[in-house]
Structure 1
């Protein structure tokens, strides 16, 4: 049998109150009996205290624990690891993609006999107890809910990492976890952190595991340990330096480490219960003690900042680049700059992909090729993950983006993800997830462009979503989008509810499907009251959501309950007074109530907060029309359409302005654009009918009127009273259409 590698996976997942460790003395960590003179040590150290999503409770010392551990590895006692052997990801650096990237790096650089270390300090959680959801490690960009959406590292992926290292790479895997802590997370109601810790305690292969506490306990942190560290982390590092060497044989074994942690951690956190766990071969050697250094520390002569200081090293990159042709060096720097600036696929001859394809052919850079590939693949994933997270968090800025802005921003994501897939290959553990997200974004963009609710286009988007589910059947975003297609495109409301509920079953606390279903029903006059249960549920999920109170205000507005509508819109403003959308909505209400001065005040407030939103200008143009300031209205409406030319309602308003100004040709053009952008814009269709009637263009007028009836227009009294339609009402074709669509009126 071949010599085995020793792989140390240190996880400090979530901490309740962590504190700092003194430096101890031992020779390079994991100096196993199976090590060889030619072996190397590689490490990935991750610490996350400050999570991107404000709904994920921040930890106090997780990042400090990781930094102390990394500095230990950089010291003489820990092996003097340089930047080519040690990757440190702290807080915002520790995204899901970068975590996966780091694991890939270990897979590639570790050879038989090497030592590999991973230290993860952060949250662990599970959203629901099931065999298919054993838990997640929450990376910096994890959403607060719906971990399957990405940003969280699923334990099955960890299992694959450990199994591959243990079986394929013949690695000895040691997993050290600080996996259970207090704090309200998505899975708190089902004991998510405890369930994750319990699942982490299971052996995946032949690895050894050291856990900070029992699965039903919490890990403690506080200032009494090193001025601010976790009790477990503090004593773990002490033990590795040699404090755990109970028989003074200059070795620290797993058995000794377990006894040391239990004696010190358990006793020091009383009356709270925290009993560390060890699983695996108790005779496994973890460290060799440096007696002189340990003695110096015990006597107080050692300086922990010196012991933990970084070392200078030229590194592989500098070594490889030294002496290369200047043109290669310039291109390499261009590649790194392109990654930093996220200039990935365009412009064609000045982007990361262009430079990567050139550099990958340079034999002298062979030692850097794998790092370049991993880093490139990670950056390709990061931005789309942020967007998916923002949907989970109902980010109002993202939710308020115009269709044009969303197409411009998200349109490149399928290409990004496809390129990441090509770089990582089909055997990579993220392959299925990336495929699923690629097809999701393709379906999303297809659905987004379907302004006319065309069923054929809807079927194209649905087919892409089905492909997404073939790769990952539990991606909740897909079911959310399917709900929208069934609701707006197919008008199958029962199916819309079914798929919205399916998305919410995957994560009950996800607000977005609940919100969009409420909005759907609010826009259907005959079904408007079906919005109420979803609005009430949305409020129960997040009573401080700007979007929810806006939707509630829209509901009451459409019900002509204007006082209640105003109250809801004001609640939205109180929830977030620096967003433009709530001011836009209350301005619309004031317009409806003929409170034009108040409406203009609110809309100017919206423009002050955000002058880039086309909807704000469109609303302002409508207000100016009502105030009979037609020249100003035309200017503002055109500005709105310049920002987003696909706004059907704005084209309709512009058509009315032109009609009032007797610019009939321009008005006809504007109404036509409105109808082409949204074939169900009944206002634009009827206004076109009126315009054509005034001009006595009866054939086209009756064509548009017939389409309006087919699309659901049913205001019989309005048709009979509108003076612009007097010409059409005098014709026999009128009576025929009325008899067809309003037979009860002909009796």
Structure 2
């Protein structure tokens, strides 16, 4: 899904299109390059165009707009910017959150939850890799803090693209419905209704999503029906319905964008020059002028916000494809470049915190102390934090895979400094620190159920806690408690066969052979070659 559904002043004075005395912020996220899901041809381009709208057309201060594309879009990098905005923003300010990419949900334990998938999100059982998701829990902490400060939130999601994802059509529908139901008093712009898809076309604007293409044109002034220089939610809804619906029919199905929020809320302000440029872009069916000024030939280097790229392809009349390049290329020759290179080398080697004088953390602190570029220093910090937390997700893989012996060995060999250092790098972000604390308690809780319970209290969406509790309860003769644990586990990971096998074993202990049989059959429907469930199914009736 795309967060909303689908594959689907004139003159020299640059004044923000938003009210005076009001600061505008932007978090713009576009993921097209997926490792385990269908790639989306134009999602990153859609994000670049929205970034250009905020920065160039609307004249929002560039320091307040952050762009995250493909591999640069990580939970930690986005969270770091979110945290800064929460600290800086004041009453009357506004924040645009834009996401273009896949959206889906599998779990049914909390139907108000949703997932926006980042580039390395797993093909199924999303919650085994929480660092590759942006879920409601992630957004809630930051957005609720901004709401308390009376900052207006405009949440834009183009995330319901056609394509096969683990949640299927039901997942897309539930995901979109959850987004629509979140943050009741904020503005939400969704690319389509819950039972629809968000369509894309190589023939539109040089290759765009229908919703995102018309969204930007509408905000530039083509949606201003009464010509008062302001685009309201109501006007934008009407414009999107008039443009997106008819175009979508040519691509395979209906698509009706949905905007939730106060209908008279002013989404953008315009001036004649902006409106004229938008009309020209629409009539030419072309990318924006800002986009066309990017590096025009394959192999050329270009830069959008803090993201450096090499142009991979340039097809006349269609779109450019970008390959993200290492920020190392932006570091001046000399000492700092060698320090940064050593940092990257240690990241790739897995030498994250040890040895103390030759690790990624050591070179990060050395770069920082030596006066390296502040933006790159922040990028190094969040890159290290992401890698440290990924080591913990890696640790849990054998547990989810049913290999408890390998998992027990891995726990003994795991370096707790990884989590301690990740907490240090959280740099005052209490929401991130809370998630790291939950992981730390979980690690210690594998040998102390009291700590395991505390971990679940801090992060109720971590499947490993319920799985471990279920195994403990089953082994200590508490089948009813184990049943509750495993039921929660399969709700969070509904495509994980081991959970249903455990459920079947619990039902057998409880003397419920029919329920046990159904659980084993469910495990086999997920993985037909899963031998333990097949053997357990045979044993139910003594076969």
- Report the TM range for the smaller structure's normalisation: 0.7 to 0.9
1:500 and 2:486 aligned: yes
With over 3 angstroms needed to count, the CA separation of the structure-2 counterparts of 1:171 and 1:75, relative to structure 1, is closer
Shift of 1:344: 0.9
Shift of 1:477: 1.5
Shift of 1:31: 2.5
With over 3 angstroms needed to count, the CA separation of the structure-2 counterparts of 1:240 and 1:410, relative to structure 1, is farther
Separation of aligned partners in 2, 1:44 and 1:485 = 44
Separation of aligned partners in 1, 2:394 and 2:289 = 37
Instruction: Tell me the residue number matched to 2:291.
Output: 307
Instruction: Tell me the residue number matched to 2:265.
Output: 282
Q: Which runs of 5+ in 1 are unaligned?
A: 1-10, 19-26, 445-459, 562-747
With over 3 angstroms needed to count, the CA separation of the structure-2 counterparts of 1:486 and 1:159, relative to structure 1, is closer
- What is the CA deviation profile of residues 600-626 of structure 1, one whole-angstrom value per residue up to 9, with x for unaligned ones? xxxxxxxxxxxxxxxxxxxxxxxxxxx
Give the structure with higher Rg (CA): 1
With over 3 angstroms needed to count, the CA separation of the structure-2 counterparts of 1:66 and 1:461, relative to structure 1, is farther
Matching residue within 460, 475, 493 for 2:462: 475
1:16 and 2:6 aligned: yes
Instruction: Tell me the residue number matched to 1:725.
Output: none
Instruction: Tell me the residue number matched to 1:24.
Output: none
Secondary structure of 2:430 counterpart = coil
Query: Counterparts in 2 of 1:503-652, with a 5 A limit?
Result: 503-516=489-502, 534=516, 536-543=518-525, 545=527, 548-553=530-535
- Please identify which structure carries the higher strand content: 2
1:45 and 2:29 aligned: yes
- What is the CA deviation profile of residues 420-443 of structure 1, one whole-angstrom value per residue up to 9, with x for unaligned ones? 222215652233222222222333
With over 3 angstroms needed to count, the CA separation of the structure-2 counterparts of 1:171 and 1:337, relative to structure 1, is farther
Contact 2:214 2:244 (8 Å CA) reproduced: yes
Instruction: Tell me the residue number matched to 1:173.
Output: 153
Query: Counterparts in 2 of 1:393-472, with a 5 A limit?
Result: 394=401, 403=406, 407-408=409-410, 411-412=413-414, 414-424=416-426, 427-444=429-446, 460-472=447-459
Shift of 1:165: 3.8
Instruction: Tell me the residue number matched to 2:67.
Output: 87
1:158 and 2:139 aligned: yes
Secondary structure of 1:543 counterpart = helix
Instruction: Tell me the residue number matched to 1:374.
Output: 382
- Please identify which structure carries the higher helix content: 1
Secondary structure of 1:192 counterpart = helix
With over 3 angstroms needed to count, the CA separation of the structure-2 counterparts of 1:291 and 1:434, relative to structure 1, is same
Q: Which runs of 5+ in 2 are unaligned?
A: 296-301, 307-326
Secondary structure of 1:209 counterpart = strand
Separation of aligned partners in 1, 2:15 and 2:151 = 16
Separation of aligned partners in 2, 1:28 and 1:185 = 46
With over 3 angstroms needed to count, the CA separation of the structure-2 counterparts of 1:438 and 1:510, relative to structure 1, is same
Contact 1:126 1:136 (8 Å CA) reproduced: yes
Larger relative contact order, structure 1 or 2 (CA cutoff 8 Å, min sep 6): 2
Contact 2:463 2:489 (8 Å CA) reproduced: yes
Shift of 1:73: 5.0
- What is the CA deviation profile of residues 576-616 of structure 1, one whole-angstrom value per residue up to 9, with x for unaligned ones? xxxxxxxxxxxxxxxxxxxxxxxxxxxxxxxxxxxxxxxxx
Contact 2:507 2:513 (8 Å CA) reproduced: yes
With over 3 angstroms needed to count, the CA separation of the structure-2 counterparts of 1:373 and 1:441, relative to structure 1, is same
Shift of 1:192: 1.2
Separation of aligned partners in 1, 2:4 and 2:412 = 33
Separation of aligned partners in 1, 2:255 and 2:66 = 34
Separation of aligned partners in 1, 2:77 and 2:523 = 32
Separation of aligned partners in 2, 1:319 and 1:85 = 23
1:257 and 2:199 aligned: no
Secondary structure of 2:184 counterpart = coil
Separation of aligned partners in 2, 1:339 and 1:130 = 36
With over 3 angstroms needed to count, the CA separation of the structure-2 counterparts of 1:352 and 1:262, relative to structure 1, is same
Separation of aligned partners in 1, 2:119 and 2:375 = 29
1:349 and 2:335 aligned: no
Shift of 1:345: 1.1
Matching residue within 82, 88, 96 for 1:103: 82
Shift of 1:513: 2.0
Instruction: Tell me the residue number matched to 1:297.
Output: 281
Shift of 1:32: 0.8
Shift of 1:85: 5.3
- What is the CA deviation profile of residues 292-311 of structure 1, one whole-angstrom value per residue up to 9, with x for unaligned ones? 64464355396768734437
Separation of aligned partners in 2, 1:511 and 1:531 = 18
Separation of aligned partners in 1, 2:236 and 2:196 = 20
1:33 and 2:19 aligned: yes
1:232 and 2:211 aligned: yes
1:198 and 2:180 aligned: yes
Q: Give the paired residue count.
A: 504
Moved more, 493-502 or 376-385: 493-502
- What is the CA deviation profile of residues 40-88 of structure 1, one whole-angstrom value per residue up to 9, with x for unaligned ones? 8654322246363x6xxx4745625535526745985476998995432
- Superposition CA RMSD, Å: 4.9
- What is the CA deviation profile of residues 164-189 of structure 1, one whole-angstrom value per residue up to 9, with x for unaligned ones? 34544x64432223355666654865
Secondary structure of 2:256 counterpart = coil
Separation of aligned partners in 1, 2:213 and 2:74 = 25
Shift of 1:377: 1.9
Separation of aligned partners in 1, 2:385 and 2:110 = 30
Contact 2:206 2:285 (8 Å CA) reproduced: no
Instruction: Tell me the residue number matched to 1:696.
Output: none
